[in-house]
Amino acid sequence: MDVQKRGRRFGGINISALIPYFLLIVILIIMGVYQPGVINFNWLNRQADSWITLALAGIGQTLVFMIGGTDLSVGGLISFTNCLAAVYMPESPLGIAAFSLGIILIGAIAGMFNGLIIVKFRLQPFIATLTTWAIWSGAALCILSVDGGDVPKAFTGALLHKFGSVKVSLILLILLGIAGVFFKVSRLGIALLAVGSNEKGAYFGGISVARTKIAVYMISGTLAACAGLFRTAQVSSGSPTAGDAFILLSCAAAVIGGCSPATGHYSFTGAILGAVIMRLLTNLMVVMGVSSYMTSFLQGVILILSVCISSFTVLFHNRKKMEVDV
């Protein structure tokens, strides 16, 4: 199986990969019309704090999509880690660091559990992660039944800190984009493409399908826990429903980012741009005075259009392949 040939192009250009860039340019132009001069470095710094949470969840969802799965538990994990941090995080710097690492470890274990029950019990990813979403959401409610909690200022300051004039969130977004380039050529990145393309072919090619799936779900769980920590720092409180919106939004970020298991295309940068687009769309609707209900509608329309374009690309690839084979 030649994984490298899966990313065929339309006229030398991968249409799916261009979707997030096109949408981002359109939204920025419209924002520039409604708010001239608002888009600058300070604006970018402020917005990065709201982008990082969804970007982390979107990257995890992208990787899960690429192996033919889905991870609904990200919403429950974000809610759980948010409530846990808001209620139990200690005040001392050392305690904050240890507690944060513990939360990230919980995310990794939760992701590993998802992978294990999917692989060992052959459960559908949708059903398995829906179940674990309910578990983590219930655990969040046990910790905090209503919005509240008290987040240490040292923790909030650390995650919302600036290095010079650049926010930590913006630096992390850039580092995540760079990390994605190296991940794609890593052993796990190549195995992920192989498993997503053809599980049986990957298995007979010497790739451990089970380990690959478990590793991908572990990464998704880890990133969801990190997203929960950033969410906590941003709002300085906890909520048992904090992560619910991230279930759909993380899927949207992955799809809009150009993730396509059929063509083998995905990128961390695409998922980040997908997250940015979803957040900017919400901001744009507020500026334009559009109802929040219409915002959800437009998000759905953009998601559907992205799926349609991706499907068209796949159909075109398959048709060209058939013509070449003939």
pLDDT digits (tens, 9 = 90+) for 94-117: 999 999 999 999 999 999 999 999
CATH number assigned to the domain covering 16-28+40-320: 1.10.3470
> Which of the pair, 167 or 38, is modelled with greater confidence?
167
Annotated domain spans of the chain? 16-28+40-320
Mean pLDDT of 241-254: 94
The number of C-alpha atoms within 13 Å of 45 and in the hemisphere containing its C-beta is: 12
Of 249, 255, 261, the C-alpha closest to 224 is 249
Of 187, 221, 222, 217, the C-alpha closest to 202 is 187
Mean pLDDT of 128-148: 97
Answer whether residue 59 shows pLDDT above 60: yes
In which residue are the tokens 């478990």 written? 214
- How high is the pLDDT of residue 219? 98
Answer whether residue 315 shows pLDDT above 90: no
Q: How many degrees, rounded to 5, is the angle at CA 45 between CA 244 and CA 300?
A: 35
Answer whether residue 220 shows pLDDT above 80: yes
Phi, psi of 173 (to 5 degrees): -60, -40
- How high is the pLDDT of residue 81? 98
- How high is the pLDDT of residue 113? 98
* Burial label, 322 (beta-carbon count in 10 A; 0-12, 13-18, 19+): exposed
Please list, residue by residue across 289-314, b when 16 or more beta carbons sit within 10 angstroms of its beta carbon and e when fewer do. Answer: eeeeeebeeebeebbeebeebbeebb
- How high is the pLDDT of residue 11? 47
Average pLDDT, the chain: 90
What are the pLDDT digits (tens) for 267-288? 999 999 999 999 999 889 888 8
List strand residue ranges (DSSP E) for the chain, in order.
Answer: 162-163, 166-167
- How high is the pLDDT of residue 28? 93
Using the Cα atoms of residue 62, residue 60, residue 250 and residue 275 in order, give the sign of their dihedral. negative
CA separation for the pair 129, 277 (Å, rounded): 26
Answer whether residue 79 shows pLDDT above 60: yes
Q: Which of 114-123, 197-206, 306-315 has the lowest mean pLDDT?
A: 306-315
What are the distances in angstroms from CA 146 to CA 152, 177, 229, 245, 299? 19, 36, 18, 17, 28
